[in-house]
Chains A and B, each alone.
Chain A
Amino acid sequence: MIAIIDYGAGNIFSVKNALDFLGVESVLTKDKCEIEAADAVILPGVGAFPWAMGELNKSGLVATVKHEAERKPFLGICLGMQLIFEKGYEFSECEGLGLIPGYVDKIDSPDLIIPHMGWNRLEVNNKDCPLLDGLTGEDYVYFVHSYKAFTDNKYIASYVEYGSEVPALVHDGKFVYGAQFHPEKSGKIGLKILQNFANL
């Protein structure tokens, strides 16, 4: 059973739809006990960093999320991936979950169209990341974001080129994973990545 944390952010039904399609059991929840009882946790999210951290704080889930991420597979998606880091600078400086060292700031280049929206090709940085199992080498996934993660190269399992290298999939080497793209909206490749996560 995968707990998809429902803290009012974005289109969480698509994550559930994708897991249903794969035949993976999941539940949308903000209940602490359900999150603790689950085999794995997904933190989805669309919106702004400070707003999302505020909602997580209001739900009283920050401590639970931090604790569970140390003992079972944890996947942050899009904004959920950004929240994994220590700090965000969207509008104002804001404390993140601090599961992986690093911070989140604007994709800053005057020549680029922002948001980075559409399909971009994954470049593998760490082929041992289990979420990349069985991919084809021509793996396009769907992005929509205006901020990106800044973190040590050792946490970056895969990146895409957009003006500079943009971390696409991060992994702490243990239980914590983060996808800047939307695997639930990335066709076959995205479903394969979600299946890999469910198989952990």
Chain B
Amino acid sequence: MKRRDFIQKTVGASVASGVLVSTVGFTEVFGEEKQADGPVDMVAVKGGGPDGMFEKGIEAMGGMSRFVKPGDVVVVKPNIGWDTPPERAADTNPLLVGKIVEHCKKAGAKEVLVFDNTCDEWTRCYKNSGIEEAVKSAGGKMVSGKDKKMYKPVAINKGKSLKETTVHELVMSADVFINVPVLKNHGGATMSLSMKNLMGIVWNRGWWHKHDLHQCIADFATYRKPDLNVIDGYNVMKRNGPRGVSVADVVNMKYQILSTDMVAADTAATKIFGVDTAKVKHIELAQELGVGTMDLKSLNIKRITV
């Protein structure tokens, strides 16, 4: 038995017996198709807790200092769209958001600001998602995403359907922008992933729904590429998304994807979720616009099982 197989089997066995918890600190990098010397494009982590997986993931990405320089203003954009508790997985897991804020602060960030233009009433979303508390205790600051004054018009030069929109000024002025979507089913956009999550930094998204949603999502992805995308696949809403009806819609999949490429991250996420990538039309549309690549084989990917 090869060493790799042995580890995989052992890990598998401990998962089955329920022994494995996020604190198990062993990581194994394996299965690279392409071992590049350059920076890591994507890290896929599985088997741990939302915060533990991020610890391993960001380390493999080269540490938060790769993205955040001392004195930077960082904007973290989780999905906080719904007034639901963390176990419903309609919002990004608070442990993950808290951990990201913590790492940003450790890397010397001057300020870490967190917001979302929520669907449900925002103060309730912030509170009941657990994100407000996690962010505050990690030293970050919650900002309202419902203040219309803060949204400024921008031109989407590469946009096909979306030529202009209004974007939250914090995203425009921030030194670092970290996008933290939660992996879930979505009735309208098929899946809610990195690019879909950016609908929470614009004001007039109703217009998008009216003018070819998938094209608008892809168009907007050309505006400001997040410096880092972290897809939370710890608890995954498999149906009735994006809000979900109850915890019965949620499966504990324990995945996380970190990437600088939204198209790649979203492609990987569809595979984890088990949906045909082609069905999530905005992914291919975004590739056509040069946002990123769907060809995972061309990327330097690290896979980690915790």
Are A and B genuine complex partners?
Answer: no
Residues in A lying within 8 Å of B, measured CB to CB: none
